[in-house]
Amino acid sequence: MADTKFKLNTGAEIPALGLGTWQSAAGEVEKAVSYALSNGYKHIDAAYCYGNEDEVGQGLKTALESGVKREDIFVTTKLWCTYHSRVEAALDKSLKSLGLDYVDLYLMHWPVAMNPDGNHEKFPKLPDGSRDLVKDWSHIQTWKLMEKLLATGKVKAIGVANYSVKYLNQLLPEATVVPAVNQIENHPSLPQQELVDFCKSKGIHVTAYSPLGSTGSPMFTAAPVVKVAEKRGVTPATVLLGYHIPRGSSVLAKSVNPERIKANKGLITLDDSDMKILDDYAKDLEATGKVVRYVYPAFGVNFGFADQPQGIIL
């Protein structure tokens, strides 16, 4: 199962399981990346914002020197919000840190621009403490700059992250290139079924992030997850990762612990009866408005997700 792949609208394939690197500390992430790649992982998810692309790059270098082939692995990184008007320069910085001459996928991390000349390189703030956004810069302008990257050969595919149906509906009529991927938070407590179905209908592959519920893996104790784990004789982690395969999505699991990195690779395909237990739970949460979103940074923007209250839509 670890070898399962999904086809992107570019014709390339994305390996179903990727190693996440958000909040993976320097001193740990290099080993995590090289360990994962030497133990069958084919997909690494990075981002400029994570502040550890240099170490991820060291891990890639170790793996490549030990015989892993560049063409056999899939590396993603992401454009950070303070770089929306400097897309190619941002990509070049990431490539340099990663020690690569191309990435397989470059994602717009969030569809909102932050001040490139503000009081912090990544998280500029206004005097009132709110994030310093560039409200008259549209995510569509950013996408147009991302489209230009394809001709440089420095990206094999471009995509988005944290896009709702509302934002995709703004983007798609203006786009020359349909995003290959939308990377979103996804797990049985946040199924985002409408968004997943919408992406599928447009040929946009979904990659699920925070499948375990992010830091501390809180989804491990969700009752239906425990039920399916007991039924199948596997761990909750295996259930939570396997949930995405029948949905046609790839999934990212972060760990810096070798045993967990290895364990997470034991991806299984959940059967119809397993999926029914998780889907019934998910549908009930959606119907009662009790879904749980673990990652919603304080941009002060309503990104248009069905579970979020209405507010500013840029």
Catalytic option among 41, 48, 50, 281: 50
Is 18 within 8 Å of 250 (Cβ atoms)? yes
DSSP-derived 3-state class of residue 296 = coil
87 binds, among ligand NDP, ligand DGU, none (CB under 5 to 8 A by kind): none
When the beta carbons of 18 and 124 are compared against ligand NDP, the nearer one is 18
Pairing outcome for strands 158-161 and 13-15: unpaired
Is 213 within 8 Å of 254 (Cβ atoms)? no
Residue nearest to ligand DGU (CB): 297
Is 251 within 8 Å of 41 (Cβ atoms)? no
297 binds, among ligand NDP, ligand DGU, none (CB under 5 to 8 A by kind): ligand DGU
In the range 261-300, which residues lie near ligand DGU by CB under 6 A? Answer: 295, 297
Identify any residues that bridge with 103 across adjacent strands, giving them in sequence order.
155
Q: Say how many Å lie between the first and final Cα of the chain, rounded.
A: 40
Q: Candidates 4-12, 35-43, 67-75, 212-220 — which segment interacts with ligand NDP by CB under 6 A?
A: 212-220
CA–CA distance, 201 with 203 (Å, rounded to integer): 6
In the range 105-144, which residues lie near ligand NDP by CB under 6 A? Answer: 109
In the range 63-102, which residues lie near ligand NDP by CB under 6 A? Answer: none
Give yes or no for residue 237 binding ligand NDP (CB under 6 A).
yes
When the beta carbons of 185 and 279 are compared against ligand DGU, the nearer one is 185
Question: Is residue 48 annotated as a catalytic residue, yes or no?
Answer: no
Give yes or no for residue 242 binding ligand NDP (CB under 6 A).
no
Q: How far is the CB of 296 from ligand DGU (least distance, A)?
A: 8
Q: Where are the alpha helices (DSSP H) in the chain?
A: 29-38, 53-65, 87-98, 139-149, 165-171, 193-201, 223-232, 236-242, 258-264, 272-287
Give yes or no for residue 49 binding ligand DGU (CB under 6 A).
yes
CA–CA distance, 66 with 63 (Å, rounded to integer): 5
Interacting residues toward ligand DGU by CB under 6 A: 22, 47, 49, 295, 297
Residue numbers annotated as active site: 50
